[in-house]
């Protein structure tokens, strides 16, 4: 089996946005590249456009003088597949159809060297299925890039059941040599990114279904948690038809697992042609001059008496320090089992998955409210919208004081309906849970999951980084509470996460630490 080096000839099949981007990255790394497309003239048009883009980068000083021409000169249009018979690596970026990809690879097996590697840029199709029936299935591997290829750093290296480990390692090393961050993944529905990302959308649809918050409120809360775009504006950008198709594909491939269940609300948007930016309307109106949705500001009122901060963790200390800085008298109970604020007869606590009304009933405290998880890195200084919910039993004056305390701490208080787990907490917990299941099933390693979600979809942190910040106990507790509330399999805790929780709580035998 040949090794791959930066002078290995490459064949890129498919001259669309992805194929042209792959050809550019390979040529920039030094490879001679053939670019082929079944549609006559498409490869030549893509090469002309690519060359123009390179010249623009050179004009801006992002490429050295003469580099644009040198890169473009390494790419040749292949009139037929036979023209590229000397390729040591093929990367196909054709239509997402397993039959078309398998047929193409079968044809290439008769043209290329026996040790040539056949890589597919599929984002969701099983690598094992593509390799079925081929003469050399061990040579077939996934090399999943993200758009735009020249800018996005992540490459998922996906192994099917028969992919040779040496082939996967060769692709991993090559992607790294191209300046990409490569992560190994096992071929399961959605691979890493498209699988772990599902809850970012699914929890939004669940909240919208039960009328817990508006799209603008959900987006604001998750931007406040550090995400560059909220899920509603992101789905409008992606296109609801595209997002629904991926969701349905993952759902069907997992035999109807409720965690991946598509939303009737999204189906309604698609059926109505409200696809997002591409159609001019989705959650939002994207017409020129359309008004930006405005969030209703929660009424605020000052707290006149002292505020008792409960909890002995670093976040509780941040709350105490923030209130003192705002000129509020603070007392602390570092031994309290829950984190939150108490004053007069009321309490405002971090959500643990129970609605404020349930906590009011169980504690016998009418003036009860809960607020969302704060998961942003404290060093980033992120302050934005923070969701909170008030029990229906609470007074209006208490609700205004709760909002006033959050405002005093620097957040924009965002009052939402009293839904279990609010917005950020249930979304982050489910992202962590899905990542834990991926690790449990040997789809990827924890560090690969973190890298993939940060580089592939721009998350502010990886799921296991969030787990470290929040702690395994609160995550498991919140998921269990969601499971108890909704009574379905959707919120079941991953066995990996459950075991980590037990391990964190189990006493350590003295013998483990002996001599």
**All residues at 6 or more sequence positions from 510 whose CB lies less than 8 Å from its CB, including other chains:** none
CB of 230 closer than 8 Å to CB of 293: no
Give the three-state DSSP class for 151.
Answer: coil
Whose CA is closest to 186, among 149, 144, 145?
144
Looking up tokens 């003192």, which residue turns up?
324
Query: Could you tell me the CA-to-CA distances from 220 to 276, 378, 400 in Å, in that order?
Result: 18, 18, 20
Whose CA is closest to 162, among 190, 193, 140?
140
CB of 393 closer than 8 Å to CB of 366: yes
CB of 14 closer than 8 Å to CB of 63: no
DSSP string, 57-93: HHHTTSS-TTHHHHHHHTEEE-SSGGGGTT-SEEEE-
Q: Provide the edge-to-edge strand list for the sheet that holds 154-159.
A: 75-77, 33-36, 10-13, 89-92, 117-120, 140-145, 154-159, 181-186
CA dihedral 393, 399, 402, 406 (to 10 degrees): 130
DSSP string, 355-396: -HHHHHHHHT-SSEEEE----S-GGGT---EEEEEE-TTS-H
Q: Can you give the length of the chain in residues?
A: 515
Backbone φ, ψ for residue 418 (5° rounding): -80, 65
Query: Could you tell me the CA-to-CA distances from 292 to 7, 219, 235, 287, 391 in Å, in that order?
Result: 51, 13, 17, 11, 30
Rg (CA), the chain: 26
Which residues participate in catalysis according to the annotation? 123, 144, 156, 194
CB of 164 closer than 8 Å to CB of 182: no
Whose CA is closest to 248, among 208, 194, 204, 185?
194
Question: Prior bond to 148 cis, omega within 30?
Answer: yes
Q: What whole-number distance in Å separates Cα of residue 238 and Cα of residue 235?
A: 5
């Amino acid at each position: 089996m040949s090794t791959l080096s930066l002078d290995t000839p490459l064949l890129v099949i498919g001259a669309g946005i992805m194929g042209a981007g792959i050809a550019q990255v390979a040529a920039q790394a030094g490879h001679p590249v053939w670019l082929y497309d079944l549609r006559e003239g498409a490869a030549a048009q893509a090469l002309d456009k690519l060359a123009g883009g390179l010249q623009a980068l050179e004009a801006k000083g992002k490429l050295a003088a003469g580099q644009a021409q040198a890169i473009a000169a390494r790419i040749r249009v292949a009139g037929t597949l036979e023209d590229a018979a000397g390729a040591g690596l093929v990367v196909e970026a054709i239509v997402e159809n397993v039959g078309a990809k398998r047929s193409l690879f079968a044809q290439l097996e008769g043209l290329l060297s026996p040790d040539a590697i056949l890589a597919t840029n599929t984002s969701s199709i099983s690598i094992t299925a593509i390799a079925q029936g081929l003469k050399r299935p061990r040579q077939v591997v996934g090399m999943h890039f993200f758009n735009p290829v020249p800018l996005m750093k992540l490459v998922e290296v996906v192994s099917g059941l028969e992919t040779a480990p040496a082939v996967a390692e060769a692709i991993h090393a090559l992607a790294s040599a191209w300046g990409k961050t490569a992560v190994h993944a096992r071929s399961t529905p959605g691979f890493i990114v498209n699988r772990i990302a599902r809850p970012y959308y699914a929890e939004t649809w669940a909240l919208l279904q039960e009328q817990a918050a508006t799209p603008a409120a959900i987006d604001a809360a998750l931007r406040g948690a550090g995400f560059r775009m909220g899920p509603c504006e992101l789905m409008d950008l992606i296109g609801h038809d595209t997002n629904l198709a991926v969701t349905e594909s993952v759902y069907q491939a997992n035999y109807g697992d409720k965690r991946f269940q598509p939303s009737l609300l999204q189906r309604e948007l698609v059926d109505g042609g409200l696809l997002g930016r591409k159609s001019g309307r989705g959650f939002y109106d994207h017409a020129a001059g359309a008004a930006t949705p405005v969030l209703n500001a929660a009424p605020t009122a000052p707290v006149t008496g002292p505020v008792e901060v409960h909890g002995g963790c670093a976040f509780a200390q941040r709350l105490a320090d923030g209130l003192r800085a705002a000129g509020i008298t603070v007392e602390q109970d570092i031994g309290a089992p829950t984190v939150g604020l108490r004053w007069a007869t009321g309490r405002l606590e971090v959500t643990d998955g129970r609605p404020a009304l349930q906590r009011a009933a169980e504690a016998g405290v009418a003036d009860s409210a809960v607020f969302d998880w704060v998961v942003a890195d404290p060093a980033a200084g992120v302050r934005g919208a923070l969701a909170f919910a008030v029990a229906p039993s609470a007074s209006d004056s208490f609700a205004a004081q709760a909002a006033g305390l959050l405002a005093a701490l620097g957040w924009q208080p965002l009052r939402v309906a009293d839904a279990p787990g609010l917005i950020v907490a249930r979304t982050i917990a489910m992202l962590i849970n899905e990542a834990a299941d991926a690790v449990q099933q040997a789809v990827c390693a924890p560090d690969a999951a973190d890298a993939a979600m940060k580089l592939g979809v721009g998350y502010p942190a990886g799921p296991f980084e969030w787990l470290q910040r929040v702690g395994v106990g609160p995550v498991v507790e919140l998921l269990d509470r969601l499971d108890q509330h909704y009574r379905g399999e959707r919120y079941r805790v991953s066995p990996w996460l459950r075991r980590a929780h037990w391990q964190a709580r189990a006493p350590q035998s003295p013998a483990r630490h002996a001599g």
